[in-house]
């Protein structure tokens, strides 16, 4: 059994199609190379520890207590396809009781504890390596802001599923030639799981997401597991086969927004003016489909410049369409304006009304321009990151001690 | 024969559907109660005078010279329906020669002289009142800015056709009950022509427009003649039966724009992204059709408030859609922002890229708000007018000496 495991999984951004996706239109989401890192090790003290320093959570249980007081009291169900089901009402109640979490608690960081316990017990008791639950120490460090619509909880669930399945011998990574789109990986090779293993990881991660989010779409965990980009329509997720790695500037306006309120706002406009909003949503779908074609061309061809020009135009148009349906915000206008000073093109990503935006960067965009944009954005009170989309999904860091991509605090 | 005639005709604004109309979609244009006034009188000196002080033009010819040197040399043609045709190449050349205008001249104010001479000769020689051309003095004063896309030349052509037809006994106005939508008319009654006469005026005005503009759509002269609003699609003009009079603030950003360049810009985007731009144009059509329905409800019902709310939303959406197709401009964003300070809603009208915008005013919008908006707009270097759309078309001012709506300089 591997005793020291480091995995990472990316966040996600919606590239095109937010809001119209609610009306059955195509959306494209992509991995975001701001990653969640999980370090798991067999613990020497025989306890199980969940250490989430980013959200101020550190919990410890003895394996004995988990085996005697929690595991026997959980109903571990599966559906007719043999897929694990989320905890029953009764199990959820017992998980919360065991973790001393209020039964009405809905904060993600607390639900993450429940998610961990459930996945740990469920996956652990299926171990192929040992009988009984393993004593492990799990520490998570994330580059993703929490609650910003960037899939931070999905990336955590994916990492958790990966380390638990690997620790228990149910999924084993192997070395792959370095994939395009992963500027952060150790040079030369990436350790990844087989597609079957990835689908298994994704299945468990989705379960984790359900515990934290209730009714997730499955986009976040799928993108985080598989990397690259996915096309999403009517709850059907398909992989975008040819997704290049694209450098972006991601900006968090830090303006809080309510996805529910924004979705309701658009619905109201759609109910009121169907003859106008219907075609607008159709335009968004056309735009999302077109972007997929452009990504394909950029993936195939070494000459990507035309692709970048087209993506810039699509980004501008999409941003205006999102303004048209009323989910813009003065903070997002600000991002557009400040980045336009450097001739860069930005759009909101996610629900809008604040939240995040991304700015396309060309491979030859001078660093000074990027730095100037970041400076302006930070002075406006926004956070920003230079990162990339279309990055590799969950992967195994085979050589953590010499891996410069890992956050310093991870191996503490 | 009436010897002293004053008529006025309104300008026009496109309410919804600019640009999409180029793609065969519905547009709605309405009369704009900034008017062109023409005073025509039988001249005592026996000369024919065209006095356009707004554009610094004053020309005088003797009737004898017109009868002997111009009229016999003009080919006055009509088409197979008996409708008058624009001047032949040869006639145009002779008109310019006679008026001492360079043959390559394309400036509207000079072409207005040609238009006058052609209409004067053509209509004059058909006189039912006298043989020979009448000695007349024509003076025009306009409230419409020239070259701002507000139909100033059409309003002039309409007035010209109306006075010439009236002077020569070919169209005679009669008194009508005061029409809704004409806050500027003398109280109690409006002198107008019968529908047949109006259609005759419109036909000749269209001819005048053709001389000034080459290939006009016919929207401007139709709206100016008939007043109210028209629906325009694929060169077909139909009257919007129920058009209320609506108060607006009209702003001229004074930013010059080239309609041709903007239309080409949209075409380029449409060629490049048909799957996006097609639905966007469709949304604009849906919006134009919807606005016509809303006008109808507002016309029928004394309770107009819901209509105003809907128009405000449609104005906002339309403005964003126009931004989406790339015909916005920072000056127009400025108008939107400055009027939004007073909770007012604005959109560009016409080609965009500068030019004009209109702002909806509710009947109960406090004067202070309107004045505050005007102040801000003027400080930004824009011109603005409080006026109304859906106003009465061309009409005869039966009592010019006591008509307060007439510009002071008109009767000089």
Can you tell me the mean pLDDT for B43-50? 92
Residue A279 sits in a domain of what CATH number?
3.30.70.890
Provide the shortest C-alpha distance from residue B22 to chain A (in Å).
Answer: 18
pLDDT at B231: 96
Structural domain contains residue B237: no
Residue of A nearest to B282 (CA): A279
The domain tally of chain A equals 2
One domain for residues A212 and A251: no
- Integer Cα distance of A25 and B216 in angstroms: 40
Quick check: B6 pLDDT over 50? yes
Phi, psi for B392 (deg, rounded to 5) = -65, 150
User: Over pLDDT 70: what percentage of chain B?
Assistant: 96
Structural domain contains residue A239: no
pLDDT at A111: 92
pLDDT at A302: 64
Question: Does A108 contact B at CB distance below 8 Å?
Answer: no
Contact present, B91 and B75 (Cβ < 8 Å):
yes
One domain for residues A221 and A306: no
One domain for residues B298 and B226: no
With CB atoms and an 8 Å threshold, state whether B287 touches A275: yes
DSSP A270: H
One domain for residues B269 and B302: yes
Structural domain contains residue A237: no
pLDDT at A1: 46
Using the structure block, give the residue that is written with the tokens 């503009």.
B213
A-B interface: how many C-beta pairs under 8 angstroms?
A: 78
Interhelix angle B195-213/B152-167, nearest 10 degrees: 130
Residue of B nearest to A319 (CA): B324
The minimal CB distance from B321 to the residues A275, A290, A324 is found for A324
With CB atoms and an 8 Å threshold, state whether B287 touches A272: no
pLDDT at B2: 53
The minimal CB distance from A320 to the residues B272, B289, B324 is found for B324
Structural domain contains residue B168: yes
Comparison of pLDDT for B137 and B213, the residue scoring more: B137
Sort out which chain A residues have CB atoms less than 8 A from B273's CB and list them: 286-287, 290, 313-314, 317
Phi, psi for A368 (deg, rounded to 5) = -65, -40
User: Over pLDDT 90: what percentage of chain B?
Assistant: 81
Provide the shortest C-alpha distance from residue A223 to chain B (in Å).
Answer: 26
pLDDT at B302: 64
Helix (H) or strand (E) holding A190: strand A189-192
One domain for residues B227 and B251: no
Structural domain contains residue B240: no
Structural domain contains residue A241: no
One domain for residues B384 and B364: yes
Provide the shortest C-alpha distance from residue B84 to chain A (in Å).
Answer: 41
Residue B28 sits in a domain of what CATH number?
3.30.230.10
Which is it for strands B383-389 and B246-252: parallel, antiparallel or unpaired?
A: antiparallel
Question: Does B333 contact A at CB distance below 8 Å?
Answer: no
Question: Does A306 contact B at CB distance below 8 Å?
Answer: no
pLDDT at A105: 79
Quick check: B180 pLDDT over 80? no
One domain for residues A196 and A171: yes
With CB atoms and an 8 Å threshold, state whether B275 touches A286: yes
One domain for residues A116 and A198: yes
Question: Does B272 contact A at CB distance below 8 Å?
Answer: yes
- Integer Cα distance of A190 and A176 in angstroms: 5
Which of B214, B322, B215, B216 is closest to B265 using CA atoms?
B322
Sort out which chain A residues have CB atoms less than 8 A from B317's CB and list them: 269, 273, 276, 324
In terms of Cβ atoms closer than 10 Å to its own Cβ (0-12, 13-18, 19+), residue A79 is exposed
**Lowest mean pLDDT across A401-405, B3-7, B301-305:** B301-305
One domain for residues A269 and A197: no
With CB atoms and an 8 Å threshold, state whether A276 touches B287: yes
Sort out which chain B residues have CB atoms less than 8 A from A276's CB and list them: 283, 286-287, 290, 314, 317
pLDDT at A180: 46
pLDDT at B185: 43
Residues of B belonging to the active site: 153, 220
Complex-level ipTM = 0.89
One domain for residues B196 and B97: yes
Q: Tokens for A69? A: 């007081």
Structural domain contains residue B102: yes
Can you tell me the mean pLDDT for B52-69? 95
Using the structure block, give the residue that is written with the tokens 């339309």.
B318
Range of the domain at A290: 246-389
Which is it for strands A57-62 and B4-16: parallel, antiparallel or unpaired?
A: unpaired
One domain for residues B403 and B266: no
> Is A4 among the catalytic positions?
no
Chunked in runs of 10, what are the mean pLDDT values of chain A (412 residues)?
A: 84 97 96 97 92 95 95 90 89 94 86 96 88 93 93 96 95 76 50 92 95 90 96 93 96 93 96 98 98 95 83 98 97 98 97 96 96 98 97 92 90 82
pTM (two decimals): 0.91
Question: Does B327 contact A at CB distance below 8 Å?
Answer: no
Structural domain contains residue B91: yes
With CB atoms and an 8 Å threshold, state whether B280 touches A280: yes
pLDDT at A219: 92
With CB atoms and an 8 Å threshold, state whether A275 touches B269: no
Task: Say how many Å lie between the first and final Cα of chain B, rounded.
Answer: 22
Can you tell me the mean pLDDT for B255-276? 95
Provide the shortest C-alpha distance from residue A308 to chain B (in Å).
Answer: 14
One domain for residues A266 and A287: yes
Q: What is the DSSP string of A342-356?
A: TT--EEEESS-SSSE
């Amino acid at each position: 059994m591997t005793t020291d495991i480091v995995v990472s999984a990316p966040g996600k951004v919606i590239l095109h199609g937010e809001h119209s996706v609610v009306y059955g239109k195509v959306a494209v989401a992509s991995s975001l190379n701001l990653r969640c890192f999980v370090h798991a090790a067999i613990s020497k003290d025989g306890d199980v520890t969940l250490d989430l320093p980013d959200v101020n959570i550190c919990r410890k249980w003895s394996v004995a207590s988990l085996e005697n007081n929690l595991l026997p009291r959980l109903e571990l169900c599966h559906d007719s396809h043999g897929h694990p089901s989320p905890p029953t009402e009764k199990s959820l109640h017992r998980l919360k009781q065991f973790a001393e979490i209020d039964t009405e608690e809905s904060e993600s960081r607390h639900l993450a504890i429940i998610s961990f316990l459930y996945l740990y017990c469920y996956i652990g008791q299926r171990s192929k390596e040992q009988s009984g639950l393993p004593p492990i120490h799990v520490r998570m460090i994330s580059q993703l802001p929490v609650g910003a619509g960037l899939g931070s909880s999905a990336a955590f669930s994916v990492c958790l599923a990966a380390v638990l399945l690997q620790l228990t011998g149910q999924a084993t990574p192997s070395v792959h030639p370095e994939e395009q789109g992963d500027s952060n990986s150790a040079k030369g090779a990436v350790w990844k799981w087989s597609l079957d293993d990835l689908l298994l990881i994704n299945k468990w991660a989705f379960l984790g997401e359900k515990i934290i989010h209730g009714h997730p779409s499955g986009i976040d965990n799928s993108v985080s597991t598989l990397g690259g980009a996915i096309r999403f329509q009517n709850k059907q997720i398909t992989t975008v086969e040819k997704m290049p790695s694209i450098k972006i500037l991601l900006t968090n306006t830090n303006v809080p927004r309510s996805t529910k309120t924004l979705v309701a706002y658009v619905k109201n406009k759609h109910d009121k003016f169907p003859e106008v909003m219907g075609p607008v949503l159709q335009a968004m779908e056309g735009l999302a489909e077109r972007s997929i074609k452009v990504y394909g061309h950029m993936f195939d061809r070494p000459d990507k410049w035309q692709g970048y020009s087209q993506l810039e135009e699509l980004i501008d148009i999409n941003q205006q369409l999102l303004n048209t349906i009323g989910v813009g915000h003065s903070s997002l206008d600000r991002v557009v304006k400040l980045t336009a000073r450097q001739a860069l093109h930005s759009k909101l990503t996610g629900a809008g009304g604040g939240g995040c935006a991304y700015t396309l960067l060309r491979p030859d965009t001078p660093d000074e321009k990027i730095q100037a944009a970041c400076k302006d954005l930070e002075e406006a009170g926004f956070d920003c990151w230079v990162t990339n989309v279309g990055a590799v999904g969950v992967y195994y860091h085979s050589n953590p001690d010499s891996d410069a991509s890992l956050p310093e605090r991870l191996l503490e």
